[in-house]
Homo-oligomer: A and B are copies of this chain.
Amino acid sequence: MTARPANAHQARLLKLLRDGGPNSRAKLGDQVDLSRSKLAVEVDRLLETGLVVADGLAASRGGRRSHNIRLAPHLRFLGVDIGATSVDVAVTNAELEVLGHLNHPMDVREGPVAVFEQVLSLAAKLRDSGLADSFDGAGIGVPGPVRFPEGVPVAPPIMPGWDGFPVREALSQELGCPVMVDNDVNLMALGEQQAGVARSVGDFLCVKIGTGIGCGIVVGGTVHRGATGSAGDIGHIQVEPGGRLCACGNKGCLEAHFSGAALARDAEDAARAGRSEELAARLEASGRLTAADVAAAAAAGDAASLLLIREGGNRVGQVIAGLVSFFNPALVVIGGGVTGLGHTLLAAVRAQVYRRSLPLATGNLPIVLGELGPAAGVTGAARLISDHLFSPA
């Protein structure tokens, strides 16, 4: 696919077809507020590009029956979500439905060359399984800040070897299609907005708690990336003056007190100190603990694990309370690896936010878990590249 819409009307039509599926010319005309004749011109041009195809006759609204159109069924986007410890690769159609999804463990610290080898091999596996002849575009998420226009990671703290690496250019060449790159947290927010719990919400925060902690900020329907692409970096907000030493060199950062990594450390401490038989048994079995172990132990009623989750929820809730006061969102979504901690985590976060933020900001504020799990990032990645391709060139 090299065609791009020629003007804002065509771009609007493509996005309506992406988000709403096949539709009749008549109904699309109502939504874009174009006259019948102008709409016909724009639709004909889209049909010529091959991005849109005819899809039979629409149900009658009286008078002459309108023709249905839809996005070309052979269009394929690749969504890639590179995490700290694993990578997700998925293929979607033009309506951003996930047709196939692979996950593979890897270490982002191995550097871009090794990671891209993995990504390309997973993409080839999806292609060879018959899900795609080729890719029309790819969206890539990385676990660090990105200079968005160029698609280049900038000073990513947990990604040695990636600083300044031309991810967009390199992958575009390898994949032979247009590529856009963004921070993984922004893509989770886009994914939940596209197909998850934030569907149709224009102003929301999406807090991702995985190995680290970040926040996607959506304002007026679009991601706010900030002046240098680092917006949403909330992991180093101070929650405890003089608190734990953080990897960044400061003390008392949120990430040092609660994140997937901090929770695993705290759980191992609890196991070794004899505060939890459940955790001790798990530690003995596998030699290490993860957030998933704490979730499982808590589900089995382990008091020490429940306490760790509640304390962590209080910490992150304290930060979210400040963000809610500052930003006054319509929705807060919590996602990432720790969503397995479930209701106990949410309850602690909610208690902090509803207690600490102004009633005016919390009176109508849902705080919910993300809905898409690991599909959020790859769906957001496909959304990112489709937003780019469905905009005027």
- Cross-chain pairs A/B with CB under 8 angstroms, 15 sampled: A154-B360, A155-B358, A219-B224, A226-B361, A227-B329, A227-B330, A228-B328, A228-B364, A230-B358, A233-B361, A237-B326, A238-B318, A240-B241, A323-B326, A326-B326
A359 engages B155 (CB within 8 Å)? yes
Number of copies: 2
Contacts of A240 in B (CB 8 A): 241
Measured CB to CB, the residues of A under 8 A from B are: 145, 154-155, 203, 215, 217, 219-220, 224-234, 236-238, 240-241, 248, 250, 318-319, 321-323, 325-330, 355-361, 363-365
* A226 CB contact (under 8 Å) in B145, B241, B327: B327
A99, B325: Cα distance in complex, Å: 36
Residue of B nearest to A323 (CB): B326
3 closest residue pairs by CB, A with B: A226-B328, A231-B328, A227-B330
A33 CB, nearest partner CB in chain B, Å: 14
* A231 CB contact (under 8 Å) in B145, B215, B327: B327
Contacts of A203 in B (CB 8 A): 226-227
B155 engages A230 (CB within 8 Å)? no
A326 engages B357 (CB within 8 Å)? no
Residue of B nearest to A250 (CB): B356
A165 CB, nearest partner CB in chain B, Å: 16
A145, B357: Cα distance in complex, Å: 14
A248, B357: Cα distance in complex, Å: 10
Say whether, besides A224-B219, A363-B228, A325 and B234 are in contact (CB < 8 Å): yes
A214 CB, nearest partner CB in chain B, Å: 10
A358 engages B236 (CB within 8 Å)? yes
* A225 CB contact (under 8 Å) in B227, B233, B328: B328
A332 CB, nearest partner CB in chain B, Å: 11
A192 CB, nearest partner CB in chain B, Å: 17
Say whether, besides A250-B355, A360-B154, A364-B227, A326 and B238 are in contact (CB < 8 Å): no
B360 engages A215 (CB within 8 Å)? no
Contacts of A325 in B (CB 8 A): 230, 233-234, 236-237
A325, B323: Cα distance in complex, Å: 11
A229 engages B328 (CB within 8 Å)? yes
A230, B360: Cα distance in complex, Å: 7
Say whether, besides A203-B227, A227-B203, A355-B250, A328 and B233 are in contact (CB < 8 Å): yes
A104 CB, nearest partner CB in chain B, Å: 29
A155 engages B360 (CB within 8 Å)? yes
A155 CB, nearest partner CB in chain B, Å: 5
